[in-house]
Structure 1
Amino acid sequence: MKNILFLICILASLTNLSSQADIRGTVIDKNNENLISATVVLLSEADSTMVSFSLTNEKGEFAIKRVKEGDYLLQITYLGYDQFTDKVIVRKEDAVLELGAIILKQASTNIEEVIIEGERTPILVKDDTLEYNADAFKTQPNDVVEDLLKRLPGVEVESDGSIKAQGEDVQKVLVDGKKFFGDDPKIATRNLPADAVEKVQIYDKQSDMAEFSGVDDGEREKTINLELKEDRKKGNFGSLTAGYGTDDRYLGNLSFNRFNNKMQFSTIGNFNNTNQQGFSVNDYVSFMGGMGGFMGGGRGGMNIPISNGLSSGFVTTNAGGLNFNYDFSDKTDLSVSYFLNDIENEVDQLTIRENFLAEGSYITDNNSDQISNSTGHRFNLELNHEIDSSQDLRLRTGLSINNGDLESGSLSRIFDEIENVENEVDNIYNSNGEKTNPSGSLLYRKKFGQISKSTLTLRAAINSTDNLTDADLNSDITDYPNDPILKMTEQIVQQQLQNDDQLSYSFNGSFVRPIWENKFIEFKYNRQNYNEEILRDVYDDINNDLILNDNLSSHYTRDYVYDRLAVALHMNSEVTQLTVEGALQNSAMDGDVISRDILIENNVFRFLPRVSFRHELGQSHNIRLRYNTSVNEPSLTQLQPVFDNTDPQNIYIGNPDLVPEYRHNLRLHYINYDQFSFRSIFAFLSASYTKNDITNQTIKEQGTQIRQSINVDYNLSLNGSFTYATPIRSLGIKTNIRTRLGYGNGPIFLNDLETMRNSYNGNVRLLIENRNKSTIDWNLGGSWGYNINNYADNENAGQEYFNQSLFADFTYNIKNSISFETGISVDFYSEEAFGEEQIIPIWTASISKFILANQRGEIKFSVFDILNQNLGISRTSTLNYIENSEILSLGQYFMLSFTYALKPMGGTGSKSGNSRRR
């Protein structure tokens, strides 16, 4: 840490070696009136990248401080006036450069339509949209959109590709306002070239009803729209990458796009055995996940991974897809996409878990290896048609098909408190399955009258899932009683067949009408129907004869229906939006365990209030509060009273006596983002209180853990986060500090003893990076996190552990000819509860040479895990156990790759022409 602070001091001192000056002036109109809050931007004359900017105060004055010696362009914009541009020269002897009064001319057209060739306004605010000019944030040749987003103030990109903008998760990424491969944002950000983008627009997308009616209902979805450059909207662009390395590592990426005024066609491909995915892996996880959610320890856990999930182990990916958007007319447009992914994942894992009882604890360890394969097909279609100016239709359909197989073997042991082995299981489990999921919805919207502006919205949807699994289980079980001589052995050989069919359909209706100025009343009705049937047949293999095991087999159906009637009052003004809603919901569940002649009925009638409040304190400065309630039914797996012995040491059984959860959620957001100084504050607080919370109870018997879902009185969860980011212009750096805190409280069961649990977790992260990234791009930082659990009736079962990480990245670009990149991260895991401290350093480096005209070609040599220390570690703390997993992961390799970028004639696609001069 001392070395990092020393490096920061050196970098800070280097920025002050050259002389600096303040640039001052006043912005007025032809009538000598001060123009308040005009945007004043200082650009580098050499490449038009942004250096600094300011806003005029109430006297029309501005000041740009600490500007280094050099040649610049001064650019001033103000709504309703022509853009002003002038050359500014800062000399070595200048301390203050006074520009005097600058007069803006009134525009003959809207400022949003004014285009000044060769000039780049970094940021514009248009109503509720924050718009970044991509050319003002320099990227490297052949960078993708994800690299561009990392440079935008107020935008964060995590290592898994997930995006936060203005402190909120980005749910959608559009391309020229249209979907790109459905709703997967990573496909656009990881496959489209950065130099194809002219503007990045960030806004809160309203609900379908609000967009059509103009009545804000408080529902928001953080969205990014990528507006392409004009030469990319008509023509072909894309890239092709191929690489090969040591240990037969390979990499291949393909991106081709053909756009015109009516059509967008894109195809992508991703092929590698280096653990890289250019897409989300939800299909893979949902198929391979099985019963993991029910076999765990219930709510209240915190997972702190370094390299788990699909980045762990050894992953081979083959994926590709097509996206097609077509405008038949101004009233009708079509969007179609198809995506195929084939993933193979090899995992060799050692897991040690400490399980807590009412008195004392016991240890389980599991050494496993598995190979899983999953092939997924995903098809989406959306058709929008405007019938006339008062009504429209929207049809959405989808189909996903997943096929997979799993081969796994494990050796698992249970130890008592004095580390004697109680039980040992040598388990082989192989399975294959198929999951098919078609879905569709139809939306109709209608406006009535020119004055009343009443709006009717109708939506119907259907969703079906068919999941087939065929598995073989072969387990050798050894029990060790107190006398080792009396050990008992048992072998289980079974075939397990399961068919899970689900069908759901829904209908939503909404009618909105004004009651007085800026106030509207909305009547809503919603009906939702779920039907599910599970048929599970388990056969014991006895002397090669398959005999049905009635105790483990089951046939179960469930019908769950709810009707909800709601009335909402919407009160909207220019700065405030308030929605107050009251709903009555009647839900009925009928279950039938056909194989046991057991009927399950559960009817619930609830009042479900909802409140949404948003108040604008200023531009990009607001506070939002959301409160809602919900009823959550137990799943069919949680209800059926049938044993699942997929893991003979961890047997799960459902509970037909479960009742639905009743949950209260409160979320408070505070955002204060100055798009001109880049200073931002994001604060978030959430509280969740669940009555009749569904959690898991674990009962330990000799050599076996039996888990069952149960209701407890309540569960309370509190979470908060605070982020502060600001540039420090005197040092030429940007800083970002983020802290997160969590608290959980509620009753749980340690074996058969009910006790109270309190959990605390938190994380602090600091990031420092340079501002001028035209030649050198660096960042460094660190994080520290903790996790603490304690129990009222068993102080010895208290758990706590800590983790820390340090990271640094450095890129040096020599005139877009040669680029050198290196990065290192070091993760520290504390010894508390796990026996020993672990330190995992990962160091990577690469050097690139750009060739051919306009840097179309890139030859790159890269090294991953230079120190050969990569090891996947996942630590988990839940209500009644603490666990540490180590996964053998991809280690050191060297790779040589070549990238060819297909670009329009003329290079990067930026506009040509000379800047206007006085």
Structure 2
Amino acid sequence: MVCNLKFNVVIFLLLTAGFSLQAQTITIQGKVLDSLQQPLQYANLLAVPSADGVDVTFAITNQDGVYNLKLQKNQNYTVTTSYLGFLPNIEDLNLEKDTFKDIVLKENLNQLDEVTIKYTPPMVVKKDTIIYLTDKFVTGEERKLKDVLKKLPGVDVDRSGNVTVNGTKVTKVLVENKTFFTGNSKLAINNIPADAVDKVEVLDNYSDVAMLKGLQDSDDMALNIKLKEDKKNFMFGDIEAGAGIKDRYVLHPSVFYYSPKTNVNVIGDLNNTGVKSFTIKDYLEFEGGIGKLLTDAGSYFKLYRSDFAQFLDNQDYKSSTNQFGAFNIRQSINAATDLSAYAIVNNEKNTTASNTLNTYQNIDQPFTEQRFANNALDNFFTIGKVTLEYKPTVKEDLNVSTVVKVTNNKGLGVINTINPSQDNTISTTNNVTGLNLKQNLSYSRKLSKTHTATLQSTYSYQNDQPITNWLTDQQILQGLIPLQTDINYNIKQTKTVNTNSVNTILKDYWVLNNFNHVYMSLGINAAFNSFNTTDLQQLSDGTINNFETAGFNNRLHYNLIDTYLGLEYKFQIGIATFKPAAYLHFYNWQLNAFSNRNANSKTLLLPQFTSKIEFSNSEKISVKYKLDATFPAVNRIANNFVLNNFNSVYKGDANLSNTLFHSASISYHRFSLFRGLNYNLSTTYNKRIKSIKNTIQLQGIEQFSTSVMFDQPEQTVNVSGRISKSIKKLKLKFNSRWSYNDYYQIVNQNTSLNSSKDFNNTLSLETNFKNHPNIEVGYKYVTSNYKSRGNLTQFLNTSFFTNLEYDFLNNFIFKADYSLDTFNNKTTNNTNQFDMANASLFYQTEDSPWGFELSATNIFDVKFRQTNNFSDFLIQDSQSFILPRIIMFKVAYKL
């Protein structure tokens, strides 16, 4: 019965999207030329029909001035062709068949006359800028900015809120030329009302400092949202409130005010429906995001593995209550000075449950463990930032900001493990408090026609204090921790990690001529760390069994100072730009552990190379290479033992030094608005020639690990491609990624070379109609292979998904999505399958501020989500339990 219901729902989604793809269209093709018969690249053609119900269509010429305009047969159109600096050409057309026609534009000798021209092209393409006039693309049912962006040519928005334009990811969002909150795209696209947007500007190679554009090699892409005139000097936004069965609720206000001098944004979210307003991904983006991964992988993964990030990482909940508030204000003090501030407050209360089958391998006697985990989490944090921007002239730019982050996260968990050596239940409590303060200074000044100087400096203070308690009625980690016999075993750990760091770089940009630049840098990175741990057992009679006599507890001070000189030479030959560079680093580090002191120094020359070949504005090749070195985090050089988990003990090594690895990448990017074709291809290669590796000693599920320097080469290769093709009202997309990784592991004194291969493919087809339902249908195919010591483990995961959006009877919007996921462990022949479906029906008349919505999530009331993965010696098949079916009725009011 349930299977029939699911099948009928899927058929309904597909049938509701039924439409005719055989519209009677004809094509007019040709070139747009100037009076000298030279082609005009990116000229705009707009065809406005006389009849109601016929779509406005437009086209843009390619680099050869060729256009391709689709019109309906036997319809009257007014076709306007325009190009900056030329008089527009206006013609009335009614065609019965495909036609070839060249259009010649005359130069506008009197530029002042342009102010009288009422025509505005729907899309303007320049070298580093694309401007969309959104009214030409929207259909009226859009509610938020993300719905508008999905309608723009070349723009994609995924479910996570990531925006890409012609295959390049948007890294910053501005509103009226000012940063929106943190600049993260998610807050903007999910909250800015669609009817407030007038234009969307895409700014490639974006730089916050205008004078550095062309000097700094920026891969950033920004969206600048221009508001309609009636939304300026006026408060706008919306408020959404809803209630559902089983005491479900949601309250989501989004209020905005923009004027020439004052901007105010307020966003709130209270719900118990599992919607997270601030996720681990948002936190990583806030701290630098993918850019930090590419330039400083060590810092990125340190953030990801931090105690605070682990609390945010959970995504699947049995229950969830979320309270989120964000406030942002910007005030122009005068023409040269802006003061801005924002505050983000988040409080979550969640419960999670999982059932995991762990397969331990690469040991003499492989075995399996069944592990059940239940957790109750209470996460609170607040982040505040104040920024002063001072730009007295185009030759000077000062930016000073202060960021404060306060966290207080608590967790209560119960783990039940069933394995050949024991059946045990362990209760765990965690309390993580932290304070992080950052002071940033950025100053840029154009010293002369040929010299521009920048100073960037950051001071950071971080203090984290996690406290963990494990409680069980059986002895654990026997032989690793000195437990005394008791009725119950109460083990406590207190940890304090304190860091003061200063990062400063002074850089001179010397422009020899238009084709040759020399950049010189002087910098210092200094970090002063302290790492203190205390592990002990509290007995039932109140006495303390301190583990210090067994080699536990750490009192470590670790200081690392990196002073460096950099020289870069940037030159251009034809369409190619090259920039070889070298950085000479002088490292000095000192360790103080109890009464032991150790000082070291090292000098390294680290080369870099980048190159870019621009065949045109829409076709580029980029090449990058870098030799990099990283030093171990403070916990990895702590000589004494420390408890990592109820089944894990770790010991660092004070003699650890730096890692050394090569990284190289090649990427090719091309898009054609004329052909509706966009593809991106990239390859990255990393080779670790010197790394820090954990050696692991396994005894059942319990493990002891320590770190050693390892000089055997390991490598990682990633190849990815993305292709999209628009055909009339259809868009076909194909994403593919292949990765290979070989690495050594040391388990129970056996060193083995492991390898993993992953192949991920997604094919989807979506429509973009104004008067018909729009549907997306896709299929995802993922294979994973893991090989170690002659053992091969294979996973095959597939997913069929479909999304439907239907605007009908003028006032109704129906949305639905469905996915069917299959997980197959080919090694054990275990297969798991689950499907998810959500739907909503929204009603709002055009002249009413009130809107009403009926929504349902997890329609089939699926109990858990299946995942699988593998690590050095462990293969995991996990079931994470999720929220049950939720049915909500919501009321929205538009301000």
TM-score, normalised by the number of residues in structure 1: 0.87
Q: Within 5 Å, which residues of 2 pair with 1:200-349?
A: 200-206=200-206, 211-281=210-280, 309-349=314-354
Which residue does 1:378 correspond to in 2?
383
Which residue does 1:75 correspond to in 2?
80
Cα drift, residue 809 of structure 1: 1.2
Partner of residue 669 from structure 2, selected from 671, 676, 691: 671
Which residue does 1:910 correspond to in 2?
none
How far apart in 1 are the matches of 2:720 and 2:175? 31
2:698, 2:747 within 8 Å by CA — same for their partners in 1? Answer: no
1:747, 1:755 within 8 Å by CA — same for their partners in 2? Answer: yes
| Residue 814 of structure 2 is aligned to residue 820 of structure 1 | yes
- Cα 1:369–1:63 change in 2 (3 A) is closer
Cα drift, residue 158 of structure 1: 2.8
Partner of residue 28 from structure 2, selected from 18, 23, 32: 23
Partner of residue 889 from structure 1, selected from 870, 882, 892: 882
How far apart in 2 are the matches of 1:722 and 1:282? 23
Cα drift, residue 110 of structure 1: 8.5
Which residue does 2:742 correspond to in 1?
745
- SS of residue in 2 equivalent to 1:830: strand
Query: Which segment drifts farther, 634-643 or 679-688?
Result: 634-643
Paired letter, 2:790: E
Cα drift, residue 282 of structure 1: 5.6
Cα drift, residue 116 of structure 1: 5.8
Report Cα offsets for 1:640-689 as digits up to 9, x if no partner. 13333352223333233322111221122211011333211111111111
Q: Within 5 Å, which residues of 2 pair with 1:399-438?
A: 399-414=404-419, 421-438=420-437
- Cα 1:679–1:34 change in 2 (3 A) is closer
How far apart in 2 are the matches of 1:83 and 1:360? 80
- Cα 1:234–1:830 change in 2 (3 A) is same
How far apart in 2 are the matches of 1:738 and 1:355? 33
Cα drift, residue 278 of structure 1: 3.5
2:31, 2:61 within 8 Å by CA — same for their partners in 1? Answer: no
Which residue does 1:174 correspond to in 2?
174
Partner of residue 689 from structure 1, selected from 684, 687, 690: 687
Q: Within 5 Å, which residues of 2 pair with 1:94-243?
A: 94-96=96-98, 103-104=105-106, 106=108, 108-109=110-111, 117=118, 121-138=121-138, 140-141=140-141, 143-206=143-206, 211-243=210-242
- Cα 1:62–1:705 change in 2 (3 A) is closer
Report Cα offsets for 1:698-722 as digits up to 9, x if no partner. 2112552223333332321111111
Which residue does 2:891 correspond to in 1?
898
Paired letter, 2:744: P
Cα drift, residue 462 of structure 1: 0.1
Which residue does 1:636 correspond to in 2?
634
Which residue does 1:590 correspond to in 2?
590
CA RMSD of aligned residues (A): 3.4
2:62, 2:672 within 8 Å by CA — same for their partners in 1? Answer: no
- Cα 1:260–1:615 change in 2 (3 A) is same
Which residue does 1:913 correspond to in 2?
none
- Cα 1:26–1:664 change in 2 (3 A) is closer
Cα drift, residue 618 of structure 1: 1.1
Paired letter, 2:25: Q
Partner of residue 57 from structure 2, selected from 51, 56, 71: 51
1:358, 1:752 within 8 Å by CA — same for their partners in 2? Answer: no
- Cα 1:207–1:200 change in 2 (3 A) is closer
Which residue does 1:447 correspond to in 2?
446
| Residue 787 of structure 2 is aligned to residue 795 of structure 1 | no
Partner of residue 845 from structure 1, selected from 839, 844, 847: 839
How many residues in Structure 1 have an aligned counterpart in Structure 2? Answer: 858
Paired letter, 2:325: G
- SS of residue in 2 equivalent to 1:477: coil
Which residue does 1:559 correspond to in 2?
559
Paired letter, 1:813: D
Paired letter, 1:153: P
Question: Percent sequence identity over matched residues?
Answer: 19
Paired letter, 1:53: A
Cα drift, residue 526 of structure 1: 1.0
Which residue does 1:830 correspond to in 2?
824
Query: Which segment drifts farther, 548-557 or 781-790?
Result: 548-557
1:864, 1:893 within 8 Å by CA — same for their partners in 2? Answer: yes
Which residue does 1:290 correspond to in 2?
none
Cα drift, residue 248 of structure 1: 1.4
How far apart in 2 are the matches of 1:534 and 1:286? 27
How far apart in 2 are the matches of 1:184 and 1:63? 36
Cα drift, residue 183 of structure 1: 3.6
TM-score, normalised by the number of residues in structure 2: 0.89
How far apart in 2 are the matches of 1:260 and 1:22? 45
1:770, 1:778 within 8 Å by CA — same for their partners in 2? Answer: yes
- SS of residue in 2 equivalent to 1:310: coil
Partner of residue 754 from structure 2, selected from 747, 753, 757: 757
Cα drift, residue 583 of structure 1: 0.9
- Cα 1:12–1:546 change in 2 (3 A) is closer
Query: Which segment drifts farther, 808-817 or 500-509?
Result: 808-817
How far apart in 2 are the matches of 1:229 and 1:53? 25
Partner of residue 778 from structure 1, selected from 775, 779, 803: 775
Which residue does 1:603 correspond to in 2?
601
| Residue 394 of structure 2 is aligned to residue 351 of structure 1 | no
Cα drift, residue 513 of structure 1: 1.8
Greater relative contact order (Cα 8 A, min sep 6): structure 1 or 2? Answer: 1
Which residue does 2:862 correspond to in 1?
869
2:249, 2:272 within 8 Å by CA — same for their partners in 1? Answer: yes
How far apart in 1 are the matches of 2:12 and 2:674? 29
How far apart in 2 are the matches of 1:868 and 1:4? 14
Cα drift, residue 270 of structure 1: 0.9
Cα drift, residue 697 of structure 1: 2.9
- Cα 1:479–1:191 change in 2 (3 A) is closer
- SS of residue in 2 equivalent to 1:148: helix
Which residue does 1:914 correspond to in 2?
none
How far apart in 1 are the matches of 2:782 and 2:737? 9
- SS of residue in 1 equivalent to 2:380: strand
2:316, 2:352 within 8 Å by CA — same for their partners in 1? Answer: no
How far apart in 2 are the matches of 1:334 and 1:47? 48
- SS of residue in 2 equivalent to 1:220: coil
1:138, 1:774 within 8 Å by CA — same for their partners in 2? Answer: no
Paired letter, 2:97: A
1:41, 1:74 within 8 Å by CA — same for their partners in 2? Answer: yes
- Cα 1:413–1:78 change in 2 (3 A) is same
How far apart in 2 are the matches of 1:286 and 1:423? 42
- SS of residue in 1 equivalent to 2:676: coil
Query: Which segment drifts farther, 168-177 or 496-505?
Result: 168-177
How far apart in 1 are the matches of 2:100 and 2:16? 30
Partner of residue 860 from structure 1, selected from 853, 856, 863: 853
2:512, 2:518 within 8 Å by CA — same for their partners in 1? Answer: yes
Cα drift, residue 500 of structure 1: 1.4
How far apart in 2 are the matches of 1:537 and 1:33? 77
- SS of residue in 1 equivalent to 2:211: helix
Query: Which segment drifts farther, 8-17 or 829-838?
Result: 8-17
- Cα 1:265–1:239 change in 2 (3 A) is same
Which residue does 1:471 correspond to in 2?
468
Paired letter, 1:606: L
Which residue does 1:701 correspond to in 2?
699
- SS of residue in 1 equivalent to 2:810: coil
2:591, 2:598 within 8 Å by CA — same for their partners in 1? Answer: yes
How far apart in 1 are the matches of 2:859 and 2:276? 22
Q: Within 5 Å, which residues of 2 pair with 1:654-665?
A: 654-665=652-663
Gaps of 5+ in 2: 1-6, 287-297, 305-311, 479-484
How far apart in 1 are the matches of 2:882 and 2:43? 53
Partner of residue 508 from structure 2, selected from 511, 523, 528: 511
Q: Within 5 Å, which residues of 2 pair with 1:452-601?
A: 452-477=449-474, 491-542=488-539, 543-550=541-548, 551-572=551-572, 575-594=575-594, 597-601=595-599
Cα drift, residue 615 of structure 1: 1.6
